[in-house]
Amino acid sequence: MRNISIVLVSPSSQGNIGAVARSMKNFGFTKLILVTPECEISTEAKNRAKHAQDILRKAQVKESFAEVIEEHNISIATTSITGNDYNIPRSPLLLEEAAKKIVGSKTKTAIFIGPEDQGLSNTQIRQCDYALTIPASGNYKALNMSHAATIIMYELSKHKNSKLIKSEHPHATIREKQEILKQIMKIIDNTKFSTPHEKQTQVLAWKKIIGKSHPTKREAYALIGFLKKQARKK
């Protein structure tokens, strides 16, 4: 995500700046830009950032919205106010749709969030290539700056970070799941049932249960070992 800049427009809360930096560290983003900030980066921001102090130290401060636009190939506005179909600047992509355009691209991209009190203006949104919005309750659509940034970064990074988790905890293969079912069938064969139908119900139920399950390899081998011991009992 090194090509993506998270741009906070006129942030007035140190807490929000620190929280955004922390989320950036969580999800693998490194470039933070502050446009005309209305507060300093001091104790509160640093406390909220926790282990993302490096992101705060490297944060760039810009004097104008247009300056950031010029430095990026693609600029994306965020808005909770979507308007109607005739309001073209505020006809946004849903976050999930925008993510498909952004993820995998190496184009230098800026995502603008804020200000906290009223969000981006129509003029600012018009300067961007397009806008995105986060689906939220119609009762209260406006998200806190740090919350919006966190959700956006999660959506953009979830595929990459999920692959890492899956590589550390690989799921059982079809053969391993078949071995689990094989051992269960042995136990069923060694069990007395009042009717053939009752036995068949157990067979079908366990096939469905194992088919729907997603055990890790370690869990599968532990279960296979346990079932083998049970299958040997008479």
Q: pLDDT tens across 43-65, in order?
A: 999 999 999 999 999 999 999 99
What is the widest separation between alpha-carbon atoms in the chain?
A: 81
Separation of CA 98 from chain center = 13
Asked whether the predicted pLDDT for residue 81 surpasses 70, the reply is yes
- pLDDT at residue number 136: 87
Percent of the chain surpassing pLDDT 90: 76
Asked whether the beta carbons of 94 and 130 are under 8 A apart, the reply is no
Tell me the residue type at 88: I
Asked whether the beta carbons of 185 and 203 are under 8 A apart, the reply is yes
Residue 114, φ and ψ in degrees, nearest 5 = 110, -170
Q: Which fold has domain 4-167?
A: Alpha/beta knot (3.40.1280)
- Two tokens, residue 58: 């490297």
| DSSP code, position 175 | H
> Which residues, 6 or more positions from 139, have their beta carbon under 8 angstroms from its beta carbon?
none
From 104, 93, 82, 114, select the one nearest 16 (Cα to Cα): 114
Is-cis flag, bond preceding 115, omega within 30? yes
User: In terms of DSSP H, where are the helices of 34-121?
Assistant: 43-49, 53-58, 65-71, 95-102
For the chain, residues classed under CATH 3.40.1280.10 are 4-167
The DSSP string of 177-226 is HHHHHHHHHHHHHTS--SSHHHHHHHHHHHHHHHHH---BHHHHHHHHHH
Asked whether the predicted pLDDT for residue 174 surpasses 80, the reply is yes
- pLDDT at residue number 86: 44
